[in-house]
A and B are shown apart, each in its own frame.
Chain A
Amino acid sequence: MSSAATTPPSVDKVDGFSRKSVRKAKQKRSQSSSQFRSQGKPIELTPLPLLKDVSAQEQPELFLKKLQQCCAVFDFMDTLSDLKMKEYKRSTLNELVDYVTVSRGYLTEQAYPEVVKMVSYNIFRTLPPSDSNEFDPEEDEPTLEASWPHLQLVYEFFIRFLESQEFQPSIAKKYIDQKFVLQLLELFDSEDPRERDYLKTVLHRIYGKFLGLRAFIRKQINNIFLRFVYETEHFNGVAELLEILGSIINGFALPLKAEHKQFLVKVLIPLHTVRSLSLFHAQLAYCIVQFLEKDPALTEPVIRGLLKFWPKTCSQKEVMYLGELEEILDVIEPTQFVKIQEPLFKQISRCVSSPHFQVAERALYYWNNEYIMSLIEENSNVILPIMFTSLYRISKEHWNPAIVALVYNVLKSFMEMNSTLFDELTSTYKSDRQREKKKEKEREELWKKLEDLELKRSLQSDGIIPT
């Protein structure tokens, strides 16, 4: 199904760390589809007159006929077949898009089922399997949907239909039901980002207009995420779904329902643990911050959750977590801050000492944030002792000079904030270090003594080294 085969260069066999993107650089952008042409005669559609060319009474019926014609699905993988008919369908679809946008009084009750049918026929399909098992969303080019010329117009049409002034959810809900929504959600796994973008808008409108479907939609999204996190770690539409959720969370009524709080703790927080976090982290962070702006009391469980799942081996993720944490701290209430400051700064202290300079740098940059600084100032007697040892140590030991310079900034701020405490900690640190050095020295001398003892013994017994 892909348009080019890949032959990995032989250097690959020697160097286990070569980047996949280098390996796959030769591969051209591929297209795929699962709409295949059925064997048999080519599709023949009788050309219909244009809508603008018929009278107003005839338009609704013509509209229905055109909808029915557009139910015919073409095979785009075969680039040479049915070219004339494909073009006809494309221009019909275009016409329908315009018609729905500007017309009035066209939407009869009979139109609804035909619209839904046409859309279903076109978009609902089993998605083609991914090209390779190792599709890496971050590095590989996505496989695009071959029938996009038609598909795009169908989506466009559907959205305008949903947004039309004449659209009535009470009629539509007979046809846009749970089964429809379920199939729609499955499409979010499409590799084609353009399709996912349209789906995002479609689902957003449906959620807005069909109150009866809201709980169902939320529940299904829950399931998708849970499956993603705990079973497959594969789903392409997480970012889009999160964007929709962002607009939903934004509209939550206060006080927050227990269902929503559960969702935050059981689904959104664990979502941080997947490997491909970078693909949807911005949207996820946005959702989290929205939740906290709605209900600040959730701050403590959120931060504790993040600390629990703090990445231990993936530095790229650590940097993301630090970014998200800063966004959370930007909106945190001082009373909440006091509750979590100890575990929080213990983790920051570890980040600051990280040998990975990007992690250390990102953590140190917190001290450039005015609001965070004001929180630290208010609680410097708790925070300074936690941070002090690692800061002082890395100012002497870190390999990266830029980090050392940043540490100076942080230490200077602390010095000015609370000189007495700072001086106390300095002298304790110094005396601790001296004690350690003394112990080191004693240990070395002890070993030396033992060595000398051993030599003396061996010399006494006529050169025979005792075992």
Chain B
Amino acid sequence: MEVFKLLKELKSNLELEVHYLPKENGLSLIESTTIGHGNGVSAKGRDDQVEDLWSLTSFFGYSTQTFVLAVNLLDRFLAMMKVQSKHLACLSIGCLHIAVRVTEEECNVSSSHELIRISQSKFTVSDLSRMEKIISEKLNFQFKAVTALTFLHLYHAIALSHKSNRKDFLNLEKLEAQLKACLCRIVFSKAKPSVLALSLLMLEIEALQSADLLEIAHRIQAHLKISKADLAHWRGLVDQCMREYSSPECAKPDHKKLMWIVSRRTAQNLHSNYRCIPELPTIPEGAWDESESEDSSEDLSSGEESLSSSLGSDAEGLYFPSNFRSRACRP
């Protein structure tokens, strides 16, 4: 009867999810905004920011839940308020900080100061706390969002509790990682979490080619009354996203954005070491070099090939141009 409880939970979450959906026209407005000075937030701007959030989440060791929640808060806020692009960084860090406090254990919550330092942000701690207040007010302190992750966990639990599918193993972590990749694109914020999660599930089941799991998935779909058309639409988009995510081609990282701050000693070191250009001009080695003469009767180190004896060893004439006069003179 475990399954029964889970299915009930599914149903209740389904009803709740609509409250935590970002407004669709808000999102569309962002998608149509062009990147430009003084314009609002664009789709690329939002996507880049979410990627940064993922880096920070990963770096500080926070859970996927924190990340998903932070993105949810961010999207909801962006969809309802007009935000200037210069405030986007502060906004997203604010959402992250709130999500961390809600989800993580208190001992693991990093300070605002640390967040700002690591993310190399330009705003101050007081800026951040003001922003967090604004976010909390606008979102009515509704932080316990129902997200695609919620549904993924439920689906996974249902699949696990089915006696019939002991042999096929659904990797929850892999699904979470794929969800994270999807959330980095604003288009998926328009999807209903239940549908998005189910799309991910089905794609993975297809890869596993498990008939049992497929049946379970269909049952979920029926239970939640998700339309075939909806599912097909989002599945297509998710599929495309997954292709890019797992392609062996490396995306060239945009490290122009990162600041490399080094200590003074190291900085001095970097400048002084760099390719000291010698003052002495190059002495070309000739093919007719060092043939035997009375001068080079000293035996050469091993490995030297035999020298020809017919060439003269003296070079008449100038080695250095006649106008060459430079030399280092120390007083």
Contact = CB atoms under 8 A, between A and B. Distances in A.
Please determine whether chains A and B interact with each other in the same assembly.
yes
Interface of A: 156, 159, 163, 165, 168-170, 173, 177-178, 193-194, 197, 200-201, 204-205, 207-216, 219, 222, 243-244, 246-248, 250-253, 257-259, 262-263, 282-283, 285-286, 289, 319-320, 323-324, 327, 357-358, 361-362, 365, 367-368, 373, 377-378, 380-381, 395-396, 401-402, 404-406, 408-409, 411-420, 422-423, 426-427
Interface in B286-331: 286-290, 293-296, 298, 300-305, 313-316, 318-320, 322, 324-325, 327-331
B296 A247 contact: no
A413 B281 contact: no
B263 A402 contact: yes
Main secondary structure of the interface of B (DSSP, over half): loop
Contacts of B1: none
Contacts of B173: 427
Contacts of A396: 61
A207 to B, nearest CB: 6
A405 B314 contact: no
B314 A402 contact: no
A253 B293 CA distance: 21
B38 interface: no
13 contacts: A168-B316, A197-B330, A211-B288, A211-B290, A211-B315, A213-B295, A219-B301, A247-B280, A262-B303, A361-B263, A365-B270, A412-B59, A423-B177
B285 A323 contact: no
A413 B316 contact: no
Given A219-B298, A415-B55, A420 B303 contact: no
Nearest to B54: A415
B5 interface: no
B283 interface: yes
A286 B118 contact: no
B301 A283 contact: no
Interface stretch (B95-103, B160-168, B208-216, B248-256): B248-256
Nearest to B294: A212
Nearest to A253: B285
B37 interface: no
Contacts of B272: 282
A285 B58 contact: no
B284 interface: yes
Residue among A320, A377, A412, A422 facing the most chain B CB atoms (10 A cut-off): A412
B59 A411 contact: yes
Interface string B151-185: 00000000000000000000001000100110000
A208 B319 contact: yes
Given A204-B280, A248-B285, A409-B255, A327 B315 contact: no
Interface string B48-62: 000100110011010
A419 B55 CA distance: 10
B260 A411 contact: no
A414 B259 CA distance: 16
Contacts of B255: 367-368, 373, 409, 413
B262 A361 contact: yes
Contacts, number: 205
Contact of B330 (A193, A209, A419, A426): A193
B229 interface: no
Contacts of A211: 286, 288-290, 313-315
B303 A365 contact: no
Contacts of B12: none
A388 to B, nearest CB: 12
A205 B319 CA distance: 9
Interface in B63-101: none
B118 A408 contact: yes
Contacts of A283: 276, 278
Contacts of B54: 415
B253 A412 contact: yes
Contact of B250 (A243, A285, A380, A406): A380
A285 B324 contact: no
B246 interface: yes
A170 B314 contact: yes
A420 B180 CA distance: 11
B63 to A, nearest CB: 10
B56 to A, nearest CB: 8
Given A251-B285, A426-B58, 12 more contacts: A163-B324, A208-B320, A211-B290, A211-B314, A243-B278, A243-B280, A282-B276, A286-B275, A358-B266, A377-B253, A416-B254, A423-B180
Contact of B286 (A200, A253, A259, A401): A253
A313 B136 CA distance: 53
A365 B262 contact: yes
Residue among B54, B274, B295, B304 facing the most chain A CB atoms (10 A cut-off): B295
B273 interface: yes
Contacts of B51: 416
B117 interface: yes
A401 B314 contact: no
B269 interface: yes
A365 B274 CA distance: 14
A327 B262 contact: no
A210 B295 contact: yes
A258 B181 contact: no
Contacts of A377: 250, 252-253
Nearest to B288: A211
Contacts of B280: 200-201, 204, 243-244, 246-247
Nearest to B298: A216
Contacts of A427: 173, 177
B207 interface: no
A212 B295 contact: yes
Given A219-B301, A259-B300, A377-B250, A409 B276 contact: no
Given A247-B281, A286-B278, A361-B266, A201 B328 contact: yes
B305 A257 contact: yes
A408 to B, nearest CB: 5
Given A209-B319, A213-B296, A368-B260, A247 B282 contact: yes
Interface string B23-63: 00000000000000000000000000001001100110100
A173 B329 CA distance: 26
Contacts of B325: 163
Nearest to B253: A416
A422 B245 CA distance: 12
Residue among A193, A282, A402, A423 facing the most chain B CB atoms (10 A cut-off): A423
B261 interface: yes
A201 B290 contact: no
Contact of A197 (B278, B289, B298, B328): B328
B258 interface: yes
A208 B315 CA distance: 10
Which 7 pairs, one residue from A and one from B, show the smallest C-beta to C-beta distance?
A212-B295, A416-B253, A251-B284, A258-B303, A250-B282, A247-B280, A423-B177
A320 B148 CA distance: 51
Residue among A258, A283, A420 facing the most chain B CB atoms (10 A cut-off): A420
A282 B284 contact: no
Contacts of A373: 253, 255
Contacts of B320: 163, 205, 208
